[in-house]
């Protein structure tokens, strides 16, 4: 089978090679999936470069322990291990495999049966592969942790990115007034997709402009926990999905202490992979939310696409079709 491989950390176009490797065989609790479509995520950009360095604690200190990146897929089950009960050969499936392993940038993968769920018939392989990671992050941040409710005043920092634009769609389902913060060149696009107000983070520090919000979703935490408190209404919630490590540690540490003395909340999302995917697919089939797809591209394009992702040039989810003939 064809796969995208790397043997050492470095820039994607230098270290990633497209190679023929042996097709894997499923262990007892695994399924063999013929991958139809896969994606590129933040994890791939970090995994291939081995940066930030703390990633190497998981992925290998000097050189990578895993050689095929990729963590989202849609495809068809082609073989099953002896103990597999939830899936059978021929089932179309999709999912975020990161809780069980990486390696979706290839034509086949063997992965635990729980890493994927059945694909709805009315959504394509390209659509379903683009859903698991970003949609679940947005949903868990705004709904499970943020408890978003009707008509709230919401701010999304990094609003023009993958999770931010989905967060906007979710907030609009609750008729919220949404402010998006991002770089100046994205603000027109953000207005066109429905943000009520937009701010350029290079011009305005949203924690210092006197506005207060019921709910803040942060995709790029880079300030102190106390500055976010300033921007929250008296029972407001600040929820972050990622950002600068030192700022995240501050939010984690001070968030716990602040919650003892104040009704304001500061929390970090720890992603539960594939949670509520049925609900998300329902929203998409009912045209209440939509997938923005950049592509589809082929496996041969992956080295340049991971670089393109890292430079923030993608518009929506980068989707790779494993068989583009
Ligand atoms: N919590 C979890 O379990 C978990 C799991 C996986 C991933 N994550 C996190 O999820 C995040 C990925 O989110 P995403 O896919 O939405 O990223 P994304 O598509 O890269 O979007 C981030 C957006 O923020 C903008 N931005 C950059 N610096 C900013 C700043 N200082 N202030 C405001 N906006 C800024 C970016 O603009 P430019 O493109 O111009 O830079 C981009 O539009 C990462 O932080 C990752 O670590 C969290």
* 241 Cβ contact list (under 8 Å, min separation 6): 137, 141, 163, 217, 218, 219, 268, 269, 271
Q: 251: helix, coil or strand?
A: helix
Q: What is the spatial distance between Cα 180 and Cα 190, in angstroms, rounded to a whole number?
A: 7
Ligand 1 mean position to 196 CA, how many Å?
Answer: 20
Sheet strands side by side (includes 197-200): 197-200, 177-182, 153-157, 213-218, 232-240, 265-268
| CB-based contact 256:268 (threshold 8 Å) | no
Q: What is the spatial distance between Cα 171 and Cα 174, in angstroms, rounded to a whole number?
A: 5
| CB-based contact 93:75 (threshold 8 Å) | yes
Ligand 1 mean position to 37 CA, how many Å?
Answer: 23
| CB-based contact 123:280 (threshold 8 Å) | no
Q: What is the spatial distance between Cα 190 and Cα 192, in angstroms, rounded to a whole number?
A: 5
Going residue by residue through the chain, which has 325 residues, state the pLDDT in tens, using 9 for 90 and above.
Answer: 999 999 999 999 999 999 999 999 999 999 999 999 999 999 999 999 999 888 899 899 999 998 999 999 999 999 999 999 999 999 999 999 999 999 999 999 999 999 999 999 999 999 999 999 999 999 999 999 999 999 999 999 999 988 999 999 999 999 999 999 999 999 999 999 999 999 999 999 999 999 999 999 999 999 999 999 999 999 999 999 999 999 999 999 999 999 999 999 999 999 999 999 999 999 999 999 998 899 999 999 999 999 999 998 887 899 999 986 5
Looking at residue 324, what is its pLDDT? Answer: 63
Q: What are phi and psi of 92, to 5 degrees?
A: -85, 130
Q: Which of 40, 43, 157, 161 to mutate to test the pocket of ligand 1 (most atoms within 8 A of CB)?
A: 161
Ligand 1 mean position to 247 CA, how many Å?
Answer: 14
Nearest protein Cα to ligand 1, atom 21: 161
**Ligand 1 pocket residues where CB is under 6 Å:** 42, 134, 137, 157-158, 160-164, 181-183, 186, 201, 219-220, 222, 241-243, 269-271, 312
Ligand 1 mean position to 25 CA, how many Å?
Answer: 36
Q: What is the spatial distance between Cα 43 and Cα 112, in angstroms, rounded to a whole number?
A: 19
> Is 2-131+291-321 assigned to CATH 3.30.950.10?
no
Q: Kindly list the domain boundaries of the chain, sorted by start residue.
A: 2-131+291-321, 133-268
Beta strands in 130-275 (DSSP E): 153-157, 177-182, 197-200, 213-218, 232-240, 265-268
Ligand 1 mean position to 160 CA, how many Å?
Answer: 9
Shortest-distance atom of ligand 1 to CA 164? 16
Architecture of domain 133-268: 3-Layer(aba) Sandwich (3.40)
Looking at residue 300, what is its pLDDT? Answer: 97
Ligand 1 mean position to 164 CA, how many Å?
Answer: 8
pTM for the predicted model, two decimal places: 0.92
Q: How many CB atoms lie within 10 A of CB 167?
A: 31
């Amino acid at each position: 089978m064809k796969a995208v491989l790397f043997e050492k950390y470095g820039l994607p176009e230098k270290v990633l090679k497209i190679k023929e490797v042996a097709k894997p065989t499923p262990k007892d609790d695994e399924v063999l999936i013929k991958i139809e479509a896969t994606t590129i995520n933040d994890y791939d950009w970090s995994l291939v470069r081995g940066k930030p360095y703390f990633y190497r604690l998981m992925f290998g200190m000097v050189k990578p322990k895993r050689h095929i990146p990729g963590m989202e897929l849609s495809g068809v089950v082609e073989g099953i291990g002896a103990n597999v009960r939830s899936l059978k050969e021929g089932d179309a499936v999709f999912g975020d495999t990161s809780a069980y392993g990486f390696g979706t940038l290839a034509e086949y993968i063997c992965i635990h049966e729980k890493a994927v769920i059945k694909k709805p018939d009315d959504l394509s392989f390209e659509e379903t592969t683009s859903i698991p990671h970003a949609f679940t992050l947005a949903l868990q941040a705004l709904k499970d942790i943020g408890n978003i409710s009707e008509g709230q005043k919401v701010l999304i920092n990094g609003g023009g990115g993958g999770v931010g634009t989905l967060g906007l769609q979710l907030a609009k389902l609750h008729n919220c007034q949404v402010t998006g913060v991002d770089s100046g060149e994205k603000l027109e696009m953000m207005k066109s997709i429905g943000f009520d107000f937009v701010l350029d983070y290079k011009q305005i520090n949203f924690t210092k402009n006197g506005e207060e919000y019921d709910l803040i979703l942060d995709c790029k935490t880079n300030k102190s926990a106390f500055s976010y408190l300033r921007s929250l209404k008296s029972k407001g919630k600040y929820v972050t999905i990622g950002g600068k490590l030192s700022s995240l540690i501050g939010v984690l540490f001070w968030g716990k202490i602040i919650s003892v003395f104040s009704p304001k909340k500061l929390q970090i999302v720890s992603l539960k992979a594939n949670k509520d995917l049925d609900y998300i697919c329902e929203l998409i089939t009912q045209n209440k939310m939509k997938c923005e797809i950049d592509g589809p591209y082929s496996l041969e394009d992956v080295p340049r696409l991971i670089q393109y992702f890292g430079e923030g040039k993608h518009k929506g989810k980068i989707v790779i079709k494993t068989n583009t003939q």
